[in-house]
Amino acid sequence: MAIPFEFINEVKERNDITDVIGSYVNLKRNGRTSKGLCPFHSEKTPSFTVFSDTSSFYCFGCQTGGDVIGFIRKIENLDYVEAIKFLANRAGMQMVEENKNDGLSQMRLKIREQNREAGKFFYHALYSPQGRQALDYFHSRGLSDETIRHFGLGWSPDDWDALTRHLQKLGYKREEILAADLGYNSRSGGVIDRFRNRVMFPIIDLQGNVTAFGGRRFTEDVKGGKYVNTGDTLIYKKTNHLFAMNFAKNNKNDELILCEGYMDVIALHQAGFTNAVAALGTAVTPQQARLMAKYVSRVVLSQDGDEAGQKSIVRSIPIMKEAGLDVRVLQITGAKDPDEFIKKYGPERFKRLVDGCSNDIEYSIARIENKYDISTDDGRLHYLRDVCDFLGGLGALEREVYAARISDKLKTDKSAVLSQINASVRRRKFNEKRREFREMAQASAGIGDRVNPQRSSNLRGASAEDAFLELIYHHQNLIERAAAEIKPEEFVTDFSRRVYEKFIELHALGEEISVGLLEQQFSESEISEIVRIINGEGMRGTSDFGHLMAVIKEESSRIKPSDVNKFSNDELLEQMKLLRRKKS
């Protein structure tokens, strides 16, 4: 649908980018910018920056950037129109008339309908004579028929295209089945069911719509991995969803139990723990953490006791704390997971286990202690080194409290422990500054730059072009003069030339250039690069105009090795004479 640009501008004006992003990311103000941990990739020190003066954001770690609409698109997995609707609703604005024939909206509707029909199909197949073995599997795991019905569990028939044929009979087209990832193309040109001979777990969103499926192997005869899962579609992205959150969100307890898999969650719900959910991957994502934080203030991590489960806990803790959650860690002894524990010891004992679990700091300290024999001097020294390094990443109050506990345990002077912790704090700050410098230097040098690959071989010219574009973006009254004095073809990098041409074109149309206006002209990765450029740390004074223009012209006139073969001998001699005259 075509949305008037005036409406888009008003949406952005009424959704301050720092306020919007601040509701997702814990931002700390630093002059004209605000910084936080990037929600789009895993990091321990903040690379994500919000620029209030240009109403844009950029991460120096993963090179993602844009305006407030671009942020909402990425964080909420929405298309452009949906992101505008989201922000309009946030600002209490009436959305402009919607085009009901929007292709993407229609496809999303078709995918939801197919998933609903597939869920019914799998459930009925489970209770058919052919599904008896799958039903016996669920019963052998202790699940009642009531629980099976509550979660909509099912079975995908041992057939190449049973579901595909069923959906086609209902009128769904081949491309719609593929878009829902319920099937995939065969070598012969047909469509094969994504799920075959597996017990099925529907993934349901907060509104009660079936958005995806997980299929689990229940006999060794089934080929393939243990799990087959729906891939990302127009309505589903696994990083944004939690299994059983549609039920757990209604729980009155201000706490969620985050489990490792579907069966743990279902077993806990059957035992009365209706606040159990599962991440749809090996570790919780920032999006999932923020989703949990909308409903509760505390999360109990319940993972398997093996090393993979413990590593998942270690990765998840900082992500959940960044979302503002109080994190507790459940340590299960005498069983490998909650399902087995409840079967062996009952729900009452499991509840006592949950109520008495340690916080994330105590868990991390205990994990460090388990690595060493602190009855020996060598073990005590290594333990003290590692635990002080860990405490160096905490707040001042937490460092004070746990320094006292460590000194008591080791019978060591508290001031000595604090001294070691403070040394760790200083190292962290130094390493953070060095990392920031390295990332900015690499970005400036064009190392790994896919948007502007010519940068690294034309660094001086490309840097001047960046500074020139930054300057005229912030002083748009200079664009007319720039267009008269320097031609786009004098730019040494193709990407900067395109941006410059667009600046000139939009200015000639009387438009005020903004990230939002440019989003309609460039790709997502190109917009990220433009945001990096306009928020550079260079001088923005108008007095730099002449100098930057001179550098661009000088670099443009250089004969590059790759250009030599383009000239005839006479032309080459003429070019060399021209360069000599310029130098003199």
Q: State how far the Cα of 152 lies from the Cα of 492, in Å rounded to an integer.
A: 60
Dist CA 230 CA 75 (whole Å): 20
Distance CA(439)–CA(576), nearest Å, equals: 38
Q: Order of strands across the sheet with 227-229?
A: 154-156, 198-204, 210-216, 227-229
| Closest CA relative to residue 33, chosen from 11, 55, 12 | 55
Phi, psi of 154 (to 5 degrees): -160, -165
From residue 492, how far is each of 29, 498, 525, 560, 571 by CA, in Å? 37, 11, 20, 11, 20
Per-residue pLDDT of the chain (584 residues; tens, 9 = 90+): 578 888 888 999 999 999 999 988 889 888 778 999 898 887 777 889 999 889 999 998 888 999 999 999 988 888 888 899 999 999 999 887 655 456 777 898 999 999 999 999 999 999 999 999 999 999 999 999 999 999 999 999 999 999 999 999 999 999 999 999 999 998 888 899 999 999 999 999 998 999 999 999 998 887 788 899 999 998 998 988 999 999 999 888 899 999 988 999 999 999 999 999 999 876 788 889 989 998 999 999 998 767 777 888 888 998 898 888 999 999 888 888 888 899 999 999 999 999 999 999 999 999 999 999 998 999 999 999 999 999 998 888 999 999 999 999 888 899 989 999 999 988 888 887 777 677 666 655 555 567 888 887 788 888 899 999 999 999 999 999 999 999 999 999 999 999 999 999 999 999 889 898 898 789 888 999 999 999 986 555 778 889 998 999 988 877 554 554 554 555 545 555 554 554 44
What span, in angstroms and rounded, lies between the C-alpha atoms of 132 and 138?
Answer: 10
The one-character DSSP state at 450 is S
Cα torsion through 318, 320, 326, 331, rounded to 10: -80
For 97, the token pair is 């008339």
**Helix (H) or strand (E) run with residue 258 in it:** strand 255-259
**Cα–Cα dist 201/195, whole Å:** 11
CATH topology of domain 103-236: DNA primase DNAg catalytic core, N-terminal domain (3.90.980)
The two structure tokens encoding residue 481:
């003069």
- Smallest Cα–Cα separation from 181: which of 152, 158, 211, 226? 211
Main-chain phi, psi angles of 433, to 5 degrees: -65, -40
* Topology (CATH level 3) of domain 459-583: DNAb Helicase; Chain A (1.10.860)
- CB-neighbour burial class of residue 193 (10 A; exposed 0-12, middle 13-18, buried 19+): buried
Identify the pLDDT of residue 582. 46
Handedness of CA 335, 336, 337, 343 (dihedral sign): negative
β-bridge pairing 276-279 and 242-243: antiparallel
Could you please report the per-residue DSSP string of 63-85?
--EE-HHHHHHHHHT--HHHHHH
C-beta neighbour count of 217 within 10 angstroms: 16
CA angle 49, 434, 390 (to 5 degrees): 90
CA distance 71 to 157: 41
Pick the CATH number of 242-324+332-345 from 3.30.420.40, 3.30.360.10, 3.40.50.300, 3.40.1360.10: 3.40.1360.10
HEC string of 144-182?
CHHHHHHHCCEEECCCCCHHHHHHHHCCCCHHHHHHCCC
> Does domain 5-90 match CATH 2.40.50.140?
no
Q: Please give the DSSP secondary-structure letter assigned to residue 239.
A: G
Phi-psi region of 142 (alpha: psi -120 to 50; beta: other; left: phi over 0): left
**Any residues with CB less than 8 A from the CB of 81 and at least 6 apart, and which?**
1, 3, 102, 104
Domain range summary for the chain, segments of one domain joined by +? 5-90, 103-236, 242-324+332-345, 371-445, 459-583
**Selection from 76, 320, 72 nearest residue 206 by Cα:** 76
- Dihedral in degrees, nearest 10, Cα atoms 84, 90, 94, 98: 30
Asked if 309 and 287 count as a contact pair (C-beta separation under 8 A), the reply is: no
Judge if pTM exceeds 0.85: no
Residue 59 forms beta bridges with which residues? Answer: 48
What is the rounded distance in angstroms from the CA atom of residue 261 to the CA atom of residue 266?
Answer: 9
**Do 36 and 87 contact (CB within 8 A), yes or no?**
no
Within a 10 A sphere around the Cβ of 514, how many other Cβ atoms? 17
